[in-house]
Chains A and B, each alone.
Chain A
Amino acid sequence: MATIVQRELSATAWRYYAPLAAIGALLAAGFAAFITMEVNGHHVTGMDNQIVWGLPHVFAVFLIVAASGALNVASVASVFGKLEYKPLAPLSGVVAIAVMAGGLAILAADLGRPDRLVVAMTHFNFKSIFALNMFLYSGFFAIVGVYLWFMMERRMQALSGAVGLAAFLWRLILTTGTGSIFGFLVAREAYDSALLGPSFVVYSFAYGTAVFLLVALAASRWDGRALDEAMTRRLGRLLALFTAAALYMTVVFHLTKLYVTRYHGIEAFILAEGGVHTLLFWAGQIGLGGVLPIAILYSRAGGSRTGVLAAAALVALGGLAQMYVTIIGAQAWPQPIFPGWQESSSFFDGEIHRYAPSLPEFFLGLGGVALAAALIAVAVKVLPLLPESCTASSSPQPTSPPARPR
């Protein structure tokens, strides 16, 4: 068997630092947005007392869900024994950690009192899914960190399968927890469904694979060392399968809602009469984010890196559209306080709530993406994460490069 050699990113000078500077500029814009919101309060955003979770949450929840899914490649290698994915497993772990960090940073920066983050880490209400998620998120960093260490340290590789299994189970629970943040909100008609937990797990498979593909293809282009077409096609097929499963969960979710008469109003809103929400659902989540990438991946274009790159970008954008509809669409629909009565008040009861995101919250969201990108860019530069070359027929035996004995 041939030996897979993994190395640090070899791109240097402007080919590395120019994109890094662009990422840095976005990160700085995100930080400026955070300071603006912190100093002035949330009235500088489009959020209000009707839409209390806005664009930052769309980005944050997308990144958190994608992070757990970005671990797919490592899981496929170590849990499901598809050894040809093993050379990509360390990168998969790093993407998972970086994207999770980006998502959580947005959530922390969007708090009304970000200065009290330590309170959130020292006072726990264990009935709150948020509190449980804090353990799930910090545990995710720890487990994936150990997993990375065991994968990259030859003496520990024998144990990496067991840790990989633990990481896989942990990320399943984590994403169920993330979906349940919404699913258990019985007061909101758009939620109130136990299906949201498992749906988010399936969404995470699709979004995480898409984000991983974007990173892997970008890194290999950056470096001149490409994933070969066969490996790219294989990952593309995996993405198509996960995207189809995500569509299935979406269909089942809405069919179960439509079965219940009291949800007909919210379903009509999301599926037919909701303006931007309806557009984002059909054109964004279903069309551009679901049907089109599957069509690309199963067409001739699916065999090319460009085709797979386009499909992955579409799935990621579809994921953002899904989060917008799931998070903001749900809040736009008024809560029935006196069911059966028409309501009106100075507090906008009985009205469809409008929402126009402002620049600070948009840049806060992009800042989280930039943080994830920066962490990945630095990690691939300093750690031997990228395979020298990765082909679908690669050996299952990654070892240290001779030039870098460990």
Chain B
Amino acid sequence: MNPATRRGFIGTAAAALAGVALAPGVRLIEFAAARAPAEPASAKLRWGLLIDTTKCAAGCNDCVKACNEENGLKSTGRPRTDAQWIRKIDLKEPKTGRQHSAPVMCQHCAHPPCVDVCPTGASFKRADGIVLVDRHTCIGCRYCVMACPYKARSFVHENLTDQKPDVPRGKGCVEGCTLCVHRIDRGQGTTACAEACAKAGHEAITFGDLNDPASAIARRLRELPNRALRADLRLDPGVRYAGV
């Protein structure tokens, strides 16, 4: 090896070593809010969404498209059996004709009926308020689908292929909005639907920690009159609606 080559090699190696040494630090900064795999979800947090229907545009479906893309939901051409984790509901007040459009997904209740009725405990609520289905213990009885007041759960009616690595899905199990739990645990700080809504310029969906008074969602909840869907059931959902 001649000296010039050796110098080049040492230089490249030093740069590579510096990169290896610094990269974790860079990652630490980038993923400051990420949760280590062994660290349990914290009950100090309560993740939730605020949907401002006055900003939600009728006909805009960007949140739905983003959710499908993020979680690998594809149409089979059989809409009655296809899973829908989020859908836009068009609303009309019959007496006045007032109209609204609002995305509806799992409301991540504090007292979720799906968790109450699940025989095996596959439906569960994380300490940070996210309601999920454990795909290893779901037996596909669909009792949770019967119990959910928001029609937020879907049953997988046929074989799936090309699932996303972050989003386990499979035939014969029940599923629903995970509040993009894989993003939250990586510290990405928003859901696919909220991100798409902001990108479209509507900002009708705000994601955040309901327990943090300084968070954007907590501030907006203080400012805007808002409510829970089916508040009569007193399930304390983590998703709130303003404007309707």
**Per-position binary interface string of chain A over residues 283-307, scored 1 when its CB falls under 8 Å from any chain B CB and 0 otherwise:** 0000000000000000000000000
Q: Are B91 and A41 in contact (CB under 8 A)?
A: no
Main secondary structure of the interface of B (DSSP, over half): loop
> Which of B87, B122, B146, B174 has a CB less than 8 Å from the CB of A346?
B87
Name which of B147-155, B196-204, B209-217 contacts chain A: B147-155
B84 touches A112 (CB 8 A): no
Is the CB–CB distance between A128 and B89 below 8 Å? no
The A-contacting residues of B in range 57-80, CB under 8 angstroms, are 76, 78-80
Residue A155, interface by CB 8 Å: no
Q: Are B150's CB and A337's CB within 8 A?
A: yes
B194 interface contact, C-beta 8 A? no
**A52-B146, A125-B121, A337-B230 known; A342 and B139 CB under 8 Å?**
no
A340–chain B nearest beta-carbon distance, Å = 7
Residue of B nearest to A134 (CB): B119
User: Does any Cβ of A come within 8 Å of B132's Cβ?
Assistant: no
The one of A113, A338, A346 in contact with B138, judged by C-beta atoms closer than 8 angstroms, is A113
Interface residues on A, range: 35 or more
The reply to whether A120 and B119 form a contact with Cβ atoms under 8 Å apart is: yes
**Interchain nearest-CB distance for A134 vs B (Å):** 7
The contact string, 1 if C-beta is below 8 Å from chain B, for chain A 341-367, is 111111111100000000000000000
B149 contacts A187, C-beta separation under 8 Å: yes
Q: Does A48 contact B (CB under 8 A)?
A: yes
A43-B157, A112-B173 known; A346-B84 Cβ under 8 A: yes
Q: Which residues does chain B contribute within 8 Å of A113, judged by CB atoms? A: 138-140, 172-173
On whether the beta carbons of B88 and A112 are closer than 8 Å, the reply is no
B104 at the interface (CB under 8 A from A): yes
Say yes or no for A130: interface residue by CB 8 A criterion.
Answer: yes
In the complex, per-residue mask of A112-130: 1 if CB is within 8 Å of any chain B CB, else 0: 1110110110011101111
- Interface residue? B229 (CB, 8 A): yes
Q: A123-B121, A186-B233, A343-B90 are in contact. Are A41 and B149 (CB under 8 A)?
A: no
From B76, B83, B91, B117, A130 is in contact (CB under 8 Å) with B117
B219 within 8 A of A: no
Which residues of chain A are within 8 angstroms of B121 by Cβ–Cβ distance? 123-125
Closest Cβ of chain A to B114, distance in Å, is 10
Q: Smallest Cβ distance from B19 to chain A, in angstroms?
A: 46
- Which residues of A (74-126) have their CB < 8 Å from a CB of B? 111-114, 116-117, 119-120, 123-125
Q: Which residues of A contact B113 (CB under 8 A)?
A: 185-187
Considering the complex, give the chain A residue whose CB is closest to the CB of B64: A346
Query: Hey, which chain A residues are within 8 Å of B102, CB to CB?
Result: 338
Q: Are B89 and A49 in contact (CB under 8 A)?
A: no
Chain A residues within 8 Å of B157, by CB: 41-43, 47-49
Cβ-closest 9 pairs across A and B: A112-B140, A112-B172, A187-B149, A130-B119, A41-B158, A48-B80, A43-B157, A123-B120, A125-B121
A sample of 26 inter-chain contacts (CB < 8 A) reads: A41-B156, A43-B76, A43-B78, A49-B81, A49-B82, A52-B142, A52-B145, A52-B146, A112-B140, A112-B141, A112-B156, A119-B136, A123-B121, A128-B117, A128-B119, A130-B118, A130-B141, A185-B146, A336-B230, A338-B91, A343-B89, A343-B90, A345-B88, A346-B88, A347-B84, A349-B104
